Amino acid sequence: MLHSMINRRALLKGTGAGALALGSGLMSLPARAAGLTIGILYVGPRDDFGWNQAHAVAAAALKEVPDVTVVEEENVPETISVAQSMESMISLDGANLIFATSFGYYNPFMVDMAKKYPDVQFRHAAPLWVDGDPTNAGSYFGQLDQAHYVDGIAAGLCTKTNKLGFVAAKPIGTVLRNINSFAMGVKKVNPAATVQVIFTGEWSMPVREAEAANALVDAGCDVLTCHVDGPKVVIETAEGRGVMSCGHNASQAPLAPKGFITGAEYKWETIYKDYAAKLAAGEALPNFIGGGFDLDFVQNTPYGAAATPEAIAAADTARADVKAGKPIFVGPLKKQDGSVLVAEGASLDNYAPELNGTDYLIEGVVGSIT
* Total residues found in the chain within this entry: 370
Whole-model pTM: value is: 0.90
| Neighbouring C-beta atoms of residue 132, cutoff 10 Å | 6
Q: Which CATH number is associated with domain 144-265+302-366?
A: 3.40.50.2300
What values do phi and psi take at 183, rounded to 5?
Answer: -65, -35
Q: How far is 326 from 244, CA to CA, in rounded Å? A: 28
CA end-to-end distance (rounded Å), the chain: 43
What's the confidence (pLDDT) of residue 3? 40
Q: Write down the domain spans for the chain.
A: 3-142, 144-265+302-366
DSSP string, 103-171: GGGIIIIIHHHHHH-TTSEEEESSS---BTB-TTEEEEEE-HHHHHHHHHHHHHHH-SSSEEEEEES--
What is the per-residue pLDDT for 334? 95
The rounded mean pLDDT for the chain is: 91
What does each of the 370 residues of the chain score in pLDDT, given as a tens digit? 344 434 554 545 444 443 333 333 333 334 444 589 999 999 999 999 999 999 999 999 999 999 999 999 999 999 999 999 999 999 999 999 999 999 999 999 999 999 999 999 999 999 999 999 999 999 999 999 999 999 999 999 999 999 999 999 999 999 999 999 999 999 999 999 999 999 999 999 999 999 999 999 999 999 999 999 999 999 999 999 999 999 999 999 999 999 999 999 999 999 999 999 999 999 999 999 999 999 999 999 999 999 999 999 999 999 999 999 999 999 999 999 999 999 999 999 999 998 988 899 999 999 988 7
Confidence at residue 27, expressed as pLDDT on a 0 to 100 scale: 36
Query: What does the alpha-carbon distance between residue 307 and residue 320 come to, in Å, rounded to a whole number?
Result: 18
Let me know: does 238 contact 252? Beta carbons within 8 Å: no
| Cα distances (angstroms) measured from residue 303 to each of 36, 101, 265 | 36, 27, 13
Is 144-265+302-366 in the same CATH topology as 3-142?
Answer: yes
Domain 3-142, CATH homologous superfamily name and number: Response regulator (3.40.50.2300)
Residue 364 has phi, psi (to 5 degrees) of 100, -5
